[in-house]
């Protein structure tokens, strides 16, 4: 079928709205009519990566939500008319998938960052019959429609603003699941969150839900620090201060049990590690291109550090938990959103880079 999609053809170019032909859903696949899709920094990482690392042209978009239009052969869990959130892709048959850890799928990088199925096909072509990446994170949802798989869909029930729910599939999920699932923050714990964008603010909300009594949010923008306080941070620190670790220690009784970096900036990560108390853990989710260098002493006293993929979440389990917390008023992630027409994707990108908008939501057809 023919759809409209935002296509990126050059790493530093602008997104262009084009007509694209996509294949009918294959076995296990589902065609989703997009209600809304979040714009995430991961969708812009091609701007910072070495040439060729992310294949172009590509339809990006990996925080989509919408309504099932049709299903391919073998799909049993979804039918036309279902409201869904689309999350990351996983193979379902490797050791980690079988162990209930799809975020650490052996094929995660290819399935989510190549724009292709495992067999190498993209399922999308432009009007000149040139192949376009159409499987970014198993969805490529900067479009009017997207092909997903039964594995990366989560059904949403009840009366909800569906167009705002796409970021539950990645950015919001990453922040919240990293705190609740991967790090296991408990009542009375302390945590410092470096970067108060969508992921960081979701982590703040999750830390409050988890019962952390010291929640320190660090960001360059005063407006983001103010938001963090509204969402549950007990302290905020200006990210421009050269002594970040010492400031966190000052407000956290000598250090935090957990730190969480969303920036991917080596000097910030170093501060996040330095702010830990004995046996503390630093979780990383920011995508960086520079090397991280730590002295052995930085990890002394049992401190540890690890990269967390999607917070280790199983979307079909964790996304409904977030929805229920939202219904109870405990997880107001929708307050981060600002709606833009899909055709204004370039303006939305400029606004998120400039700090004007926390989470742009692109809506086709408005």
Give me the helices (H) in the chain, please: 95-98, 108-113, 171-177, 198-210, 222-231, 244-251, 266-274, 315-327, 345-353
pLDDT at 289: 80
320 token code pair: 């409904």
Structural domains in the chain, sorted by start? 2-169+332-363 (3.90.180.10), 174-309 (3.40.50.720)
Contact call for residues 258 and 190 (beta carbons, < 8 A):
yes
pLDDT tens figures, 172-219: 999 999 999 999 999 999 999 999 999 999 999 999 999 999 999 999
Q: What is the reported pLDDT for 27?
A: 96
Length of the chain: 366
Which pLDDT score, from 0 to 100, does residue 50 have? Answer: 84
Q: Write the pLDDT tens digit of every residue in 47-99.
A: 988 888 899 999 999 999 999 999 999 999 999 999 999 999 999 999 999 99
pTM for this model (two decimals) = 0.96
d(CA 218, CA 197): 10
pLDDT, residue 221, reads: 97
**What does residue 239 show for φ and ψ, rounded to 5 degrees?**
-65, -10
What kind and span of H or E run contains 106? none
Q: What are the residues whose beta carbons fall under 8 Å from the beta carbon of 123, sequence distance 6 or more?
A: 22, 23, 26, 117, 134, 135, 147
CA distance 314 to 289: 27
Q: How far is CA 138 from the centre of its chain?
A: 14
* Residues contacting residue 12 through CB under 8 Å, at least 6 positions apart: 47
Which residues of the chain are modeled with pLDDT < 70? none
Question: What contacts 232, CB < 8 A, 6 or more positions away?
Answer: 204, 205, 207, 208, 215
β-strand pairing of 153-155 with 83-86: antiparallel
Q: How many other CB atoms sit within 10 Å of the CB of residue 337?
A: 20
């Amino acid at each position: 079928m023919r759809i409209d999609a935002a296509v990126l053809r050059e790493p530093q170019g602008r997104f262009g709205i084009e007509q694209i032909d996509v294949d009918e859903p294959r076995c296990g696949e589902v065609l989703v009519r997009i209600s809304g899709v979040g714009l995430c920094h991961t969708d812009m990482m091609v701007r910072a990566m070495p040439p060729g690392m992310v294949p172009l042209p590509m339809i990006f978009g990996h925080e989509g939500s919408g309504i099932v239009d049709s299903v391919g052969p073998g799909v049993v869990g979804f039918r036309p008319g279902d409201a869904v959130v689309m999350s990351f892709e996983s193979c379902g048959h490797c050791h980690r998938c079988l162990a209930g850890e799809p975020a650490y799928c052996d094929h995660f990088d290819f399935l989510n960052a190549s724009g292709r199925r495992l067999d190498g096909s993209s399922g999308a072509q432009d009007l000149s019959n040139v192949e376009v990446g159409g499987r970014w994170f198993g969805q490529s949802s900067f479009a009017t429609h997207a092909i997903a798989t039964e594995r990366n869909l989560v059904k949403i029930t009840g009366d909800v603003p569906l167009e705002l729910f796409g970021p539950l599939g990645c950015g919001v999920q990453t922040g919240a699941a990293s705190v609740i699932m991967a790090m296991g923050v408990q009542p009375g714990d302390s945590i410092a969150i470096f970067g108060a964008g969508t992921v960081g603010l979701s982590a703040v909300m999750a830390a409050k839900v988890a019962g952390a009594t010291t929640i320190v949010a660090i960001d360059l923008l005063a407006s983001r620090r103010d938001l963090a306080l509204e969402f549950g941070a007990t302290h905020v620190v200006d990210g421009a201060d050269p002594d970040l670790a010492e400031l966190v220690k000052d407000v956290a009784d000598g250090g935090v049990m957990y730190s969480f970096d969303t920036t991917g900036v080596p000097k910030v990560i170093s501060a996040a590690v330095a702010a830990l108390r004995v046996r503390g853990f630093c979780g990383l989710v920011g995508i960086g291109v520079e090397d991280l260098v730590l002295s052995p002493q930085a990890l002394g006293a049992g401190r540890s550090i690890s990269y967390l993929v999607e917070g280790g979440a199983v979307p079909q389990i964790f996304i409904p938990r977030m929805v229920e917390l939202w219904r109870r008023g405990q997880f107001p992630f929708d307050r981060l959103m600002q709606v833009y027409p899909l055709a204004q994707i370039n303006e939305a990108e400029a606004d998120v880079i400039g700090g004007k908008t926390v989470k742009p939501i692109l809506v086709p057809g408005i």
